[in-house]
Amino acid sequence: MTTLIIGPGAIGRLLACRLAAGGQSVRLLGRRPLPTIQTLTSPDGTTQRLELATTTEPRLACVDVDQVMLTTKAYAARAAFAAVADHLPAATPLVLWQNGLRVQRPLTDTWSGPVLCASTTEGAFIRADDSVVHAGQGQTVIGHLDGGLDGHPGEGHGPHTQPLRTDALQTQAHQTQALASSLATTLSAAGLATEAVDDIATRLWHKLAVNAAINPLVARYRLRNGELRGHPYRDMVDATVDEVAQILAALEIPAPAIDVPSSDVPSSDVNDGNRAWRALVWQVIERTAANRASMLQDIEAGRPTEHDAILGPLREAATRLGLPCPQLDAHWRFLNA
Ligand code: KPL
């Protein structure tokens, strides 16, 4: 079983190293040449040197490939996959690891093979061209975008809601869900705890909500995540979360099932729906307090940011629903400048 990983950023390299360390055949495709020997530093500080097949040539990358993991930034995903699509067998499974909700629906609907979406909280960063650090153990969920077709959560009533599917498409969705289970087993065995879920669209909205509340603010004010706990950022986070919560409630996206200690969300003027979203966001801020979020790293490195994939679906839904979202608009203006 050979896995092609497209996009050798931190998550792509983490996947490549973990799978290779578990004895899997892995190929890494990037836009520029990468050293074939990569060092993986684990959360406990131990290091492993691993030999990976790396290439910049899409056609060569696809020879005898059994599955593809697309780990590029959201804005680069469609072009990166288009570069390999013609060289892959039509039934090749594709797994999308992007933040936000821009690429999942178009690629699910257009790729001929099964498509899964993944969302991860694994912490990883690139230390050097030949070195990736697995900074914190997280949790990955994986599933088919229409995994809830038979009455389970599925994609909800978001902007990507699809008409009812035919039986053939339902069968395909179920087969893809079975693939999710086997992939979850493989990834978990490789040291990346993974669960197959039937509500991946909801999980992607949850991650998008967290990213919308944290990333633009830390990028704008150049903060580590934990610094959002201080004045005046705390109120800005809550104001953003409340806007996001309102939009997602109108889209009928289920709020996170999370215990909300009242001390964490003290204000009595917060309604119950917003409390769950605030609790989720503050939980992530606590757990990632020392992190420099991906959007901050992008801004500091002069790279494009994922603001369209994260804020775009929310602002478009707000416009359709006639909901004001001044905080999201301000984040958008800053990131679009
Ligand atoms: O996903 C993240 C990111 O950096 O993009 C968060 C959750 C904000 C952690 O830093």
Question: pLDDT by residue (tens digit) across 149-167?
Answer: 443 344 444 444 445 567 8
Rounded CA gap, 318 and 313, in Å? 9
Residue matched to tokens 């050979």: 2
The pLDDT assigned to 151 comes to 39
Rounded CA gap, 299 and 219, in Å? 7
Residue matched to tokens 């599933």: 143
- The separation between the first and the last C-alpha atoms of the chain, rounded to the nearest angstrom, is 45
Using CB distances shorter than 6 Å, the residues near ligand 1 are 210-211, 214-215, 225, 284, 288, 291, 293-294
> Which stretch of DSSP H or E encloses residue 204?
helix 200-221
> Model ipTM?
0.96
Mean pLDDT of 242-263: 88
Helices (H), 230-325: 233-250, 272-287, 294-300, 307-321
Atom of ligand 1 nearest to the CA of 215: 8
Atom of ligand 1 nearest to the CA of 294: 4
Six-digit token string for 106: 């178009």
Surface-to-core class of residue 290, CB atoms within 10 Å of its CB (0-12 exposed, 13-18 middle, 19+ buried): exposed
Mean pLDDT, rounded, of the chain: 91
pLDDT at residue 40 greater than cutoff 50: yes
CA of 121 to the centre of ligand 1 (A): 8
Kindly indicate the confidence band of residue 78, based on its pLDDT and cuts at 50, 70 and 90. very high
Mean pLDDT of 39-51: 96
Six-digit token string for 198: 């039937």
**Which residue type occupies 73?**
K
Contact 73, 63 (CB under 8 A): no
